[in-house]
Amino acid sequence: MRKTTLDLLARKGTQPISMLTAYDYNTAKNIDEAEVDMILVGDSLGNVMLGYENTLAVTVDDMIHHGKAVVRGAKNAMVVVDMPFMSYQASVEDAVRNAGRIIAETGCQAVKLEGGTEYADRIKAIVTAGIPVVAHIGLTPQSVNTLGGYKVQGRTEEKATKLLADAKAVCEAGAFAVTLECVPEPLAKQITEQIPALTIGIGAGRFTDGQVLVYQDMLGYSDGRTAKFVKKYADLHSVMLEAFKQYKSDVESRSFPNEEQKYN
């Protein structure tokens, strides 16, 4: 049975919620089989799937293309699709139209957008249109050029107060969950205790209602540097490299294909 917002909200303060990103059918199918609660088709696909330097060039069409594949693979997890840069920033009308397109064309169950108090009107309008919203505050990668890089947010008292106000505002606007990215643990705990919505942390410590990771990071897909908050559950980079090297060598030595892999 597909997880609903009500199922997940009922777990606030009791059973933590697991979320992973996915961008394709097979990964979604595997994550779903592992009974992870939520799958995020993040605009991080710009970085990890398309090789861009940041998420700013990702389009609504990109999100729909990958979102459709993920929805086909996930039968039980709630699928959330990110609203990419400039799909909601310019106006409330853009926000509702693009959220509607994403929901209608992918079949996902919710959308996610970055920003706090200043985007509460977009969240309210999307929720009014019948679309569940996950908000995203703290480090918001679509604002990398104003944030001056990918840094922990809310470190001063003033910034922490603003983040708490943002969490309350998006919650009041109707967001059923709030992603907290790169926020000090005590602040994430305080936000979690003070809002009725679910908090889903990424680099926000131990006390949020749930956790999300980019699946390539947690699988060790590339040999590049990962953020401090990532726990590597596998070393797929080494596994893949070894397999690709072995394949090349087998082809060159004519040991692949062999008797078993041929048709008579």
Cβ proximity to ligand KIV: between 42 and 174 the closer is 42
Q: Look up 259 and say whether it is catalytic.
A: no
Whether 108 contacts 28, CB under 8 Å:
no
Q: Can you name the residues that pair with 180 across neighbouring β-strands?
A: 137, 201
Query: Rounded distance, CA 117 to CA 100, Å?
Result: 22
CA neighbor of 210 nearest in space, from 175, 180, 168: 180
Closer of 43 and 166 to ligand KIV (Cβ):
43
Residue 168 CB, shortest distance to ligand KIV, in Å, is 20
Q: Which is nearer to ligand KIV, 122 or 136 (CB)?
A: 136
The span from the CA of 240 to the CA of 200, in Å, is 31
- Minimum distance from residue 67 beta carbon to ligand KIV (Å): 12
Q: Which residues contact 61 (CB under 8 A, 6 or more apart)?
A: none
Report helix angle 157-172 to 120-128, nearest 10: 20
Q: Which is nearer to ligand KIV, 39 or 161 (CB)?
A: 39
CB of 218 to ligand KIV, least distance (A): 12
Largest CA distance in the chain: 74
Beta carbon nearer to ligand KIV, 1 or 51: 51
For the CB of residue 264, give the shortest distance to ligand KIV in the complex, in Å: 48
Q: Which residues pair with 210 in a beta bridge?
A: 17, 200
Q: Closer to ligand KIV by CB, 224 or 262: give it.
A: 224
Amino acid at 238: S
What span, in angstroms and rounded, lies between the C-alpha atoms of 64 and 59?
9
Nearest-CA neighbor of 44 among 136, 142, 148, 150?
142
Cβ-closest position to ligand KIV = 42
27, with CB counted inside 10 A (0-12, 13-18, 19+), is: buried
We find the least distance from the C-beta atom of residue 245 to ligand KIV, in angstroms, to be 30
Residues that bind ligand KIV (CB under 6 A): 21, 40, 42-44, 82, 136, 179, 181, 202, 212, 214
Q: Which residue has the tokens 């606030």?
A: 12
Q: Which residues pair with 111 in a beta bridge?
A: 81, 133
CA 238 to chain centre: 25
Q: Residues 181, 242, 259, 260: which is the catalytic one?
A: 181
CB of 200 to ligand KIV, least distance (A): 8
Active site residues: 181
